[in-house]
Structure 1
Amino acid sequence: MKNLLLLICGFILLQGCHSLDLNPLSDGSSETWNSTPEELEMSLNGLYKQVFWKKDLDDWSDDWIYRDGLTEVTNATLNGQSAFIKTWWLDTYKAIARANTIIKGADRAKDKLSVEQLNMFIAEARFVRACMYSSLLSHFGHIIYTDDILDIEQAKNLKQVEPEFVLQRIYEDFDFAIANLKTKYTTTELHRVTKGAAMAMKARIALYRGDFATARNAAKDCIDLKQYNLHTDFASLFLSSTKNSPESIFLLPRSIALNVVLDDRQNYISRNAGGWAAKDPSWDLLFSFICTDGLTVEKSPLFDPSNPFLYRDPRCKATIAAFDEPLLDYIYTPHPEALNVMKISTGTLVKNNDNRANAQYASFNGLVWKKGVDNEWLLNSWRTEPDNIIIRYADILLIYAEAKIELNEIDQTVVDAINQVRARAYGVASTSLDFPAVKLGDQHALRQILRNERRMEFALEGLRYMDLIRWKLAEKALNKPNYGLLDPADLVAKVVKTGKWFLPSAPTIDADGLPDFNQFNQQGLIKTIAIRKFDASKQYLWPIPSTEVLTSGLKQNPNY
């Protein structure tokens, strides 16, 4: 979605009463509101509040380390009283209630709108409702479904329904949106959600639910619209200066002036630049990027353990700050003997606070983020305003490829889709010989390539957690330790002086593409920072909030 900046301030007239907020109106205005196009627009604008568009946190995945801390997800302590569980549930149902109110009340404006215009308003509300139910379904599984405006007693009496029923209702909403929304908007129109966005979000929930035929078809329909293109440069796509990229199929704008921001950036920034370097990429992520010959670090003769950023897929350096290269006006290095580094703007050596010999709380594993990072992160109290991209074209290409692979419909279109994404990372056309193109292979081989391609492409975008969940890899990936560097004195003595910096060799990569550092840990060359835990007996679904189980009689998910 583009040019929604003017919509951010859209107010929500509706107020909630029930814990699920399924009864959103509490006064007589409910009987007359939405009777004009202007009122419908104001109601729709309220559906795009950032609080309604939840994203999974990278904190919940194996791409992440936050010093020695863990989350309720990665410590297997998730329960029905977890604050974010309750918030996710309630906020999403609030959005659904507001969408239902618009859909049910839109006919009040039928005398002022053409049938086509009225259906566009309804289609937009149904798009949002489908997105909200998709979020609930993929996380909680057994949820409440309603497409009506309810009084408090009716809302209290609702019971959970089968996931397949909800999925079909989601498809119906997306299909109505696809049939009635515009393909694109003119330069003089305020851009709102499009049919391409509905196709894309339908493809995503279908993939998440294992309905690969629907995912394939919806992704193909989106591709065939020919409305979207990959952003020319991978790294610049995520900067605050890049707005409304042709790759963005559905986005919500951010604005520092309107206090709709991406905040907490100080935790992500190197200490030399004034940050804390606390929330960092994991070694698991670093060593998942393939080398420029297309092979994993374990198999590639190009891999250099003393400089793990050499000869790697370009997305590696675009995602994680490379050693001995510029980062926010400093040369970045966590090397324990690099006590001073160059400040680029002055050409002088300064104390290296990204070295744990100088700063105890410098990155515990030597890594910091690069993706999306620029000098704007240092301004405005560590708040930034890059577009909040909900889904982009690279995801649709890889959804199409994955769905076809899982259906065992292996053909040239599968590798073409993957290669478009990979070639963009190298800055070349997918027909070029200057990148390690994926070749046709069997289902198993292509599945592993596709899964790792997603990891390289979407790091720090909130997609890794759900990939682990739907691939049933969370019980493996999230039951591994988070490793980091030894304390400085031991690091120098055991690693640097023995010629084993950064690592003595490449880690092994298992059949699921997950790096294994245990051999280095057993040799005393690295340090266990935190031990992740994941309980496969229950955590593939989230718990229903305890308040809903106790007060509304909802059935809790197994083993919570």
Structure 2
Amino acid sequence: MKNHKNIIAALILILAIAGCKKYEQFPVDKVGIDKIFDSRDSAGVNAQHYLYGIYSILKNGHNRVGGDYLDAASDDAISSASGPTNASTVLATASYNSYTIPNDENLWGTYYGGIRQANEFVNNIGVVPVLAKYNGFSQKFVWKSEARFLRAMFYFELVKRYGGVPLMGNKVYTITDDIALPRNSFDDCIKYIVSECDAIKDSLLVYPLALPAAKEADSHRPTKGSALALKAKVLLYAASPLFNGGNIDAANPLTGYTSFDANRWAAAAVACKAVMDLNAYSLLANYKDVFTTQYNSEILFFRQGGNGNGVETTNGPVGFSGATGKGQTSPTQQLVDAFPMANGLAITDPTSGYDVNNPYNNRDPRLTYNVIYNGAAWLNTSIQTFEGGQSKPNTTLQQTKTGYYLRKFMGNFESTNAYSSHSTDWVILRYADIVLGYAEALNESAGATPEVYTAVKSIRQRAGIAAGAGSQYGLKVGMTKDEMRAIIQNERRAEFAFEESRYWDIRRWKIAELVMNQPRTGVSIVKVGSSLNYNPINVLTTKFDSPKMYLYPIPYDEVQKNPNMKQNPGW
């Protein structure tokens, strides 16, 4: 076997760093392609590190948008940071154009960079003589399928932001090539991503991983279930009103389909059911453990985040000397009100038992798992977010603007005095999304069938909502399609809060113009003696310019340098 002394110097830094963390960028500008894809490297060490570099392009969603969660640009939260120029506020107030869209969401170049690296891998891995096999496939073929999965994921991230985008195939363009490519149609892009998922699904790892030792080493890698889940999610988006019947430019194939087809909903339901029929994944018994317990049965694909307590120190409530927090995320009153009662009934239902003087009592347990509110247990104390309270001192200290703090993704620190390290992986695909996606797609294609009820009930049961009479978990018997749609949309809001779901859901459902063109609200709690008075307050005036804001503008530079690049309508 070849002596690798000539490349050790170039690789030593990567190997040192990657020993603990797989997602590190491979320095392709310093190592020649023939050294990465080496015909004498039978273990494929260099090629594998290059693949790790492609994984690193995946985004970790924890406070990734100018220090905020993307949900702070939706109706579920606002940023606690002062001023109108932080990225999430710019997005929420429609204060951007094709040149000024915040960098953390201007991801055109980022994802096309990932696509290029994936193409490099796909085109060159064949020369590496890897001997290992997995499930009958050469290990290098499995790696190639992983690169194709990541490429499909990058395309999906582009399509949901921009609509149809240029498809590169396996081509790696050089400086001498004509790269003035036009955009492919939305339909072309959806078909391409779906076809890639179908092509690779049987040559990826299979969950659950066979050996316990493989969990830590390989759990970040996509499986057959990951590919099927990505396909299902892509088809769900494609079937949604924004693209299927509600195209913002009705005759424009770049911005969606040019006609409605109910069969798209049926196809999405079939794709979701294919994941469910694997019988490999299941809802974790405890909702909050999904995000802090690694290798659990609900995770279909995730981005490694390492161990730490950065979520707590960035978003935790202020006022604790032994555990710092700067309250970066302020959940809105609209989000809090979306959580039903523990009996499954909406707080607006007069029979629900909701008490305006005790608004957090007997609520859906997911409220406590997502939001820290006045009186909640945290760090061995009872949280005070009333005016002048421990965690709302009304000083110059950054603190909640809405009366609420983020709870999701944090460790179990209700009865401890300090924060400690825990997993901060970012879950990209999880089984609950498939279950609710199935319910949504089947409801749209066939109405509120028993299968739709069963799917929604399973989510509510896991959440801790009481079964109630007839084990309906608060659901009305005999709902219409429209009534069930409202339930499913609200269920998604409660289940996936802060997971970069709501921001995209209100767009694909084409309701952003309704929910974003009204003020974000919070609560001002005034303590008088032993009594608390809850007063609604407006905390931010948000804006959504319809229809243009349903899709992002193609970056200004891309349109300027490419005469074949058509801009999205209105930009």
Deviations 1:286-305 (A, max 9, x none): 00111123222111441111
Task: Give distance in 2, aligned partners of 1:134 and 1:312.
Answer: 36
Whether contact under 8 Å (1:334, 1:366) holds in the other structure is: yes
Whether contact under 8 Å (1:200, 1:391) holds in the other structure is: yes
Residue number among 550, 556, 566 corresponding to 1:546 in the alignment: 556
The residue aligned with 1:59 is 72
What's the TM-score once normalised by structure 1's chain length?
A: 0.80
Q: 1:417 to 1:293 in 2, by over 3 A?
A: same
Give the residue type in structure 2 aligned to 1:288.
A
Quote how far apart the aligned CAs of 1:106 are: 2.6
Task: Give distance in 2, aligned partners of 1:235 and 1:368.
Answer: 16
1:122 counterpart SS class: helix
The residue aligned with 1:157 is 180
Give the residue type in structure 2 aligned to 1:161.
N
Task: Give distance in 2, aligned partners of 1:299 and 1:445.
Answer: 14
The residue aligned with 2:210 is 186
The residue aligned with 1:297 is 347
Q: Equivalent residues in 2 for 1:250-265 (5 A)?
A: 250-256=301-307, 263=310, 265=312
Task: Give distance in 2, aligned partners of 1:380 and 1:252.
Answer: 26
2:538 counterpart SS class: strand
Task: Give distance in 2, aligned partners of 1:37 and 1:27.
Answer: 16
1:92 counterpart SS class: helix
Task: Give distance in 1, aligned partners of 2:177 and 2:408.
Answer: 47
Give the residue type in structure 1 aligned to 2:383.
Y
Residue number among 62, 73, 77 corresponding to 2:95 in the alignment: 77
2:540 counterpart SS class: strand
Give the residue type in structure 1 aligned to 2:366.
R
Whether contact under 8 Å (1:264, 1:383) holds in the other structure is: no
1:407 counterpart SS class: helix
Q: 1:333 to 1:127 in 2, by over 3 A?
A: same
Task: Give distance in 2, aligned partners of 1:498 and 1:531.
Answer: 33
Residue number among 447, 465, 490 corresponding to 1:452 in the alignment: 490
Residue number among 101, 106, 116 corresponding to 2:137 in the alignment: 116
Q: 1:250 to 1:51 in 2, by over 3 A?
A: closer
Give the residue type in structure 2 aligned to 1:266.
T
Whether contact under 8 Å (2:333, 2:522) holds in the other structure is: yes
Q: 1:485 to 1:228 in 2, by over 3 A?
A: closer
Task: Give distance in 2, aligned partners of 1:223 and 1:272.
Answer: 45
Does 1:418 find its partner at 2:456? yes
Give the residue type in structure 1 aligned to 2:510.
K
Give the residue type in structure 2 aligned to 1:74.
A
Whether contact under 8 Å (1:272, 1:330) holds in the other structure is: no
Q: CA RMSD in A?
A: 3.4
Task: Give distance in 2, aligned partners of 1:288 and 1:384.
Answer: 29
Does 1:272 find its partner at 2:319? yes
Deviations 1:92-114 (A, max 9, x none): 11111111111112322368577
Give the residue type in structure 2 aligned to 1:160.
R
Q: 1:95 to 1:360 in 2, by over 3 A?
A: closer
The residue aligned with 1:330 is 381
Q: Aligned pairs, how many?
A: 501
Quote how far apart the aligned CAs of 1:279 are: 1.8
Deviations 1:219-278 (A, max 9, x none): 111111111111111123223xx211111111122224xxxx784643421112232334
Task: Give distance in 2, aligned partners of 1:128 and 1:324.
Answer: 43
Does 1:215 find its partner at 2:268? yes
Structure 1 alignment gaps of length 5 or more: 17-24, 340-351, 504-525
Residue number among 218, 222, 228 corresponding to 1:199 in the alignment: 228
Quote how far apart the aligned CAs of 1:198 are: 0.4
Task: Give distance in 2, aligned partners of 1:235 and 1:113.
Answer: 38
Task: Give distance in 1, aligned partners of 2:195 and 2:178.
Answer: 23
Whether contact under 8 Å (1:174, 1:198) holds in the other structure is: yes
2:90 counterpart SS class: coil
The residue aligned with 1:44 is 51
Give the residue type in structure 2 aligned to 1:14.
V
Residue number among 528, 533, 548 corresponding to 1:501 in the alignment: 533
The residue aligned with 1:287 is 337
Deviations 1:122-180 (A, max 9, x none): 22111111111011011111312102111124363222111111111111110112132
Task: Give distance in 2, aligned partners of 1:400 and 1:272.
Answer: 43
Q: 1:264 to 1:231 in 2, by over 3 A?
A: closer
Whether contact under 8 Å (2:374, 2:403) holds in the other structure is: no
Whether contact under 8 Å (2:342, 2:464) holds in the other structure is: no
Whether contact under 8 Å (2:26, 2:49) holds in the other structure is: yes
2:427 counterpart SS class: strand
Give the residue type in structure 2 aligned to 1:72.
V
Quote how far apart the aligned CAs of 1:400 are: 0.7
Does 1:131 find its partner at 2:141? no
Give the residue type in structure 2 aligned to 1:180.
S
1:84 counterpart SS class: coil
The residue aligned with 2:14 is none
Q: 1:178 to 1:27 in 2, by over 3 A?
A: closer
Q: 1:214 to 1:380 in 2, by over 3 A?
A: farther
Seq. identity, %: 25
Does 1:373 find its partner at 2:407? no
The residue aligned with 1:105 is 124
Task: Give distance in 2, aligned partners of 1:5 and 1:300.
Answer: 58
Does 1:247 find its partner at 2:298? yes
Whether contact under 8 Å (1:419, 1:430) holds in the other structure is: no
Residue number among 348, 358, 371 corresponding to 1:320 in the alignment: 371
Structure 2 alignment gaps of length 5 or more: 1-17, 240-263
Task: Give distance in 2, aligned partners of 1:235 and 1:111.
Answer: 41
Whether contact under 8 Å (2:93, 2:544) holds in the other structure is: yes
Greater shift in the superposed pair: 197-206 or 376-385: 376-385
Quote how far apart the aligned CAs of 1:391 are: 0.9
What's the TM-score once normalised by structure 2's chain length?
A: 0.79
Quote how far apart the aligned CAs of 1:315 are: 0.7
Task: Give distance in 1, aligned partners of 2:359 and 2:418.
Answer: 34
Task: Give distance in 2, aligned partners of 1:243 and 1:313.
Answer: 25
Task: Give distance in 1, aligned partners of 2:210 and 2:269.
Answer: 29
Task: Give distance in 1, aligned partners of 2:475 and 2:513.
Answer: 31
Q: Equivalent residues in 2 for 1:15-30 (5 A)?
A: 15=29
